[in-house]
Amino acid sequence: MFAYLVRRLLQFIPVLIGVTFLVFSLTLLLPGDPVASLLGLSEGQAQVDAEMVQRYRHELGLDQPVPVQYGMWLGRAVRGDFGDSIKTRRPVADEILPRLKVTAQVSVAALIVSLLIALPAGVAGAVWRNSWLDRLITMLAVAAVAVPSFWLAIMMILLFAVQWQVLPPSGFVSPFDDPVRGLKLMVMPVLILGWEGAAVLTRQTRSAMLEVLSQDYVRTARAKGLAGRRVIWVHALKNAMLPIITILGLRIGLLLGGSAIVETIFTIPGIGRLLVSSISTRDFPVIQALVLVIGLSTVVASLLTDIAYALLDPRIRYR
Amino acid sequence: MDRAENYWKGSRTRRISRRSALGLMGAGTLAAWLAACGGADKGSSSGSAPAPSTSANAAPTQLAAAQGTVTAFQTGNTGGKFKLGVTLEPGTLDTAIPLSGGDTVFLSTMYNPLVTIDHFVPNPQLSLAQKWEIVDPTTITFTIRPGVKFHDGTDFDAESVKWNFTRILDPATKSAARSNLIDIDRVEAVDKSTAKFILKSPNATLLTAIGTVYGAGMASRTAVEKWGKEFTSHPVGTGPFVFDQWVPGSHVTVKRNPNYWEKDSAGKALPYLDEVTIQAIPDDTVRFANLQTGDIHYAALNQKDWAAGDKHSDLTMIKGLPGIPVNSVLVFNLDKPPADNLNLRKAMAFALDPSVATKNVYFGYADVIKGGMRQPGSWAYSETPGRPAYDVAKAKEFLAAAGVPNGLNLDVITYTSPQINQQTEIYQEQWAKVGINAKITTQDVTTSTDSFFVKGLFPVFSTSWGTTYFEPNGAASYIYSKDAYYNPMHRAITPELEDLVVKGRQTYNLDERKKIYDRIDQIVLVEQCYYIPLIYSTGRGYFRKNVGNADIFTWFAANRMQSLFLK
């Protein structure tokens, strides 16, 4: 296991370098003068403030060869220095970190909801294949993929907040600061994100379970008199978990990138909402840092997925 | 006739002293703002017309004495937490460098300018200045209110005024207010309580440009020097509320300033409220939902929710001033074919019937503009000369005169917004009827503004505007002049227009000024067919019924949040 971990971590390094280089190269792809874009200046303004642009170019090392530029950028990025937001003039890291915490809280909760829905539903769909329950689950899963989250969000707000007045319509308070209000505010966005994720997971769980349930060892387990529940939840599900974990890993990466739509509608100050507002104001330093954060979260999620594979399946760690 | 109309009638018949005339003429807060809106942020304003809720129907004191202090309409209860929902979160909390008009609502809680604008009476009113005196056309002295302190305990005096204006006028500060205050040569602190403004040239709009927290609020020098560029999130002013918390992407909370200098007419200390939280809720439906559930006390609503807002038993509707915002405007780039041909510009303008959009896009809550960019009801308003009004025959005549009787292909740019997109598609259909085959390019508001006004990539921009201007210099300085940010040609449109823009700013006599702006409209709408406003509406804001003094709350300029109270 240890050797596998080390090997996997070593493989992680080139991926990391690749991601950071791609993010860095966004600067090279910027139309016009990248310094002007980084400073939020139009071409005309950049000409007027030529001296400042030149000074900034030198400070950022953008007058150096590309590999040197990358090295300097990486050095700053590792220290969390992504420059200042063009919009707010505050350090980019100060803009992103508090929002990352918010997105992480919502994401973890959404993931838990996804699993709580998907595992029982997927297993039930496989065990009672082609029953009315299976069809209902399939229908709900298709609906979850097909119904746009913005519509669902608005409908839920109108029903639960305006009509029945059981939940507050929007906003975010950390459940660690104010558990009651924090959890109430989380219910709708977490259900929407959780349901959305559950749809894919349910389908994956169902098909993986169907495959496993038809295998000999399951029949053997039943034949030797093990309880049905134990066969399904312990013997079968464990072996069906690999594809489920793959989807789960992708989902973690996706959720940590923040859901732009759900965060915007529910006014959750997460990184998805920050990304949308940064793009609309062309706040390049923030966009660059966010792309890096989202890229890294995907890479880390896939690393964790691989580690989970090894834990679940000994064949992988001995390969 | 509502109270707003009464006011406008009153103001036009009143004998106007030179001082109040200066104020009245200078009532360009909106102008200042709107232009500054885009000026700092590469044009975010031209697109997203802010949803205003200026309350026109409640002129509380009518024309207060020219130098009166605005006072609360009704004495309220002290205490309570007030929440309001706005569309945009703030870009900064540094009063000198706001990035969009939406920042004003946040800034006005924490900062005071020297003079403030009573929105119903577009006159500068006293604020941190106790008196002003126009010594000569290029010298104004302000007597500073004694005993005022910044939230950090430091004194506010004439030196603070000098320091703040020096900071605002320093190009390195990138202050949004700078372009409006550029006629100020320097500010001198004569003594502790007297600040003298020396102008480069007479400017009839200057006093109101000073009278806005949008770039000209007074900040604590000690705090600015202590926090440096982080002052943007550690604001310290003299305003009614003290900064408490800014959760980016969510809200800003401010708390009652116990040492605030202003009192209401009964002598009771202001502000009444203990706390104000301003939440950024970008989605219109969600903002309305928050208002309905009582999670917020105030929101400006989108037209689609007005009927429901009017019917709601827990809400009070506050109407804004007509002409805010301008929902539809057509801007031509006179250097970009085919808009470089006057006949073709006229053909495009005459082919449009905006009334189709007022009915179908705005549910009848909008009006067709007949004249130029002058606010309906204001002293400068005139429907003559009128803009090119819908006339298919004339459109075809102009096409023929341009040598393309069978029509032409046209690239039109617009920005992402459901209403703007729908009305542009209506125009596309109307143009098709005269043979103009329009291809629409849609970009986000910032990019489209940059593409059209800065880079000059398109011949026509179908966009919106924050306001018709009750100070007509607004449109003249920010759209028509050669230095205007929103002039896509970046050159004088005609030498005469350029002269008139300067003359309009420097003329003190109202009748003369009106004639100047009539002539400006003649050039802009008819002779050059450059900037054609099509549709305007009257914004609406909605309050919960338990909010006191809601009717004197104004969305623009001085928000007077110190006068609001909870019943």
For B85-106, how does the pLDDT look when each residue is reduced to its tens digit (9 = 90+)? 988 788 789 998 866 667 888 9
Is it the case that residue B423 has pLDDT exceeding 90?
A: yes
- Spatial contact of B138 and B202, defined as CB atoms under 8 Å apart: yes
Q: Which of the four pLDDT bands, split at 50, 70 and 90, describes residue B68?
A: very low
Contact B247 A89 (CB under 8 A): no
User: What stretch of H or E contains B534?
Assistant: strand B531-536
Rounded distance, CA B315 to CA B318, Å?
Answer: 10
The rounded distance, in Å, linking the Cα atoms of A87 and A184 is: 32
Which helix H or strand E contains B516, and what residues bound it?
Answer: helix B510-521
C-alpha dihedral (A103, A108, A109, A114), degrees to nearest 10: 120
User: Which distant-in-sequence residues (6+ apart) come within 8 Å of B489 by Cβ?
Assistant: B333, B334, B335, B456
- Total residues belonging to chain A: 319
Asked if residue A174 and residue A229 are part of one domain, the reply reads: yes
Pick from A87, A266, A267: which is nearest to B280 by CB?
A267
- Its domain, for residue A54, covers 16-78
Q: Measure in Å the smallest separation between the Cα of A107 and chain B Cα atoms.
A: 17
Q: Please give the structure tokens belonging to residue B285.
A: 């439906």
Verify that A48 and A124 share a domain, yes or no: no
**Co-location of A129 and A258 in the same domain:** yes
Pair A68, A122 in one domain:
no
Overall domain count for chain A: 2
A70 with A105, same domain: the answer is no
Q: What local confidence, expressed as pLDDT, does residue A234 receive?
A: 82
Residues of chain B found within 8 Å of residue A88, distances taken between Cβ atoms: 91-92, 232-233, 248
Output the pLDDT for position A45: 59
pLDDT of residue A40: 61
Please list, in sequence order, all residues whose beta carbon lies within 8 angstroms of the beta carbon of residue B327, skipping any fewer than 6 positions away: B49, B357, B361, B362, B366, B419, B423, B464, B534, B535, B536, B537
Within 8 A of B446 by CB-CB distance, chain A residues are 280-282
How far is the alpha carbon of A103 from chain B, nearest alpha carbon, in Å? 12
A257 min Cα distance to partner chain B (Å)? 16
B508: helix, strand or coil = coil
Q: Which residues of B touch A161 (CB under 8 A)?
A: 289, 293
pLDDT surpasses 60 at B12 = no
Assess whether A152 and A188 both reside in one domain. yes
Q: Residues of B with CB below 8 A from A169's CB?
A: 286, 289-290, 293, 295
Q: Are residues A45 and A174 in the same domain?
A: no
SS3 content of chain A, % helix, strand, coil (to 5): 80, 0, 20
Q: Which residue of B has its CA nearest to A166?
A: B293
B213 and B104 in contact (C-beta within 8 Å)?
yes
Check B446 against A95: CB less than 8 A apart.
Answer: no
Q: How far is Cα B248 from Cα B234, in angstroms, rounded to an integer?
A: 13
B44, pLDDT greater than 80 = no
Which residues, at least 6 apart from A17, have a Cβ–Cβ distance to it below 8 Å?
Answer: none
The chain B residue lying nearest A87, using CA atoms, is: B91
A9 is a domain residue? no
Same domain, A231 and A292: yes
Establish if A91 belongs to a structural domain. Answer: no
pLDDT (tens digit, 9 = 90+) per residue, B442-456? 887 767 887 898 888
Select the more confidently predicted residue: B118 or A95.
A95
For residue B76, the 8-state DSSP code is -
For testing contact with chain A, the best of B48, B286, B453, B489 (most A CBs within 10 A): B286
Residue A188 lies in a domain: yes
Any CB–CB contact under 8 A between A152 and chain B? no
Kindly state whether residues A61 and A200 are assigned to the same domain: no
- Please check whether residue A85 lies inside any domain of the structure: no
The answer to whether residues A37 and A163 belong to one domain is no
Give the closest residue to B247 by CA, choosing from A201, A288, A172.
A172
Contact (Cβ atoms closer than 8 angstroms) between residue B367 and residue B358: yes
Q: What is the DSSP letter of B469?
A: B
| Any domain includes A26 | yes
Decide if A151 is inside a domain. yes
Q: Show which of A78, A108, A124 is a domain's final residue.
A: A78
User: Is A63 found in the same domain as A106?
Assistant: no
Comparing C-alpha atoms, which of A97, A92, A83 is closest to residue A38?
Answer: A83
Cβ–Cβ gap B293/A162 under 8 Å: yes
Residues of B in contact with A40 (CB under 8 A): 42
Which of A238, A153, A246 has the alpha carbon at shortest distance from A195?
Answer: A153
B228 Cβ contact partners less than 8 Å away, ≥ 6 residues apart: none
Instruction: Name the least confident of A126-135, A296-305, B121-130.
Output: B121-130
B229: which chain A residues are within 8 Å (Cβ-Cβ)? 84, 89-90
* Residue from B173, B283, B449, B452 to probe the interface with A (highest A Cβ count within 10 Å): B283
Q: How many CB atoms lie within 10 A of CB A230?
A: 12
Q: What is the pLDDT of residues A243-299, one digit of tens each?
A: 888 888 888 878 877 688 999 999 999 999 898 888 877 778 888 899 999 888 888
Phi, psi of A309 (to 5 degrees): -55, -50
Identify the pLDDT of residue B171: 81
State whether residue B91 sits within 8 Å of chain A by CB: yes
B92·A40 Cβ contact <8 A: no
State the Cα–Cα distance between residues A23 and B99, nearest whole angstrom: 27
**CA–CA gap between residue B247 and residue B264 (Å, rounded):** 32
CB atoms under 10 Å from CB of A120, counted, come to 14
Looking at the structure, do residues A223 and A261 belong to the same domain, yes or no? yes
Q: Is some CB atom of chain B closer than 8 A to the CB atom of A13? A: no
> In sequence order, which residues have a C-beta less than 8 Å from that of residue B225 and are 6 or more positions away?
none
Is B250 in CB contact (< 8 Å) with chain A?
Answer: yes
Tell if the CB–CB gap between A169 and B250 is shorter than 8 Å: no
The domain that holds A155 is classified in CATH as: 1.10.3720.10
Residue pair B565/B336 in contact (Cβ under 8 Å)? The answer is no
Specify if A21 maps to a domain: yes
Contact A161 B293 (CB under 8 A): yes
Mean pLDDT of chain B: 82
Residue of A nearest to B443 (CA): A280
Whether residues A169 and B293 touch (CB distance < 8 A) is answered with: yes
Give CA–CA dist A89/A93, Å, rounded. Answer: 12
Q: How far is B318 from chain A (nearest CA, A)?
A: 22
For residue range B198-243, what is the model confidence (pLDDT) as tens digits? 999 888 888 877 876 666 899 999 999 999 888 988 999 999 999 9
Alpha helix locations (H) across B340-412?
342-350, 355-360, 392-401
Band (pLDDT 50/70/90 cuts) for residue B336 is very high
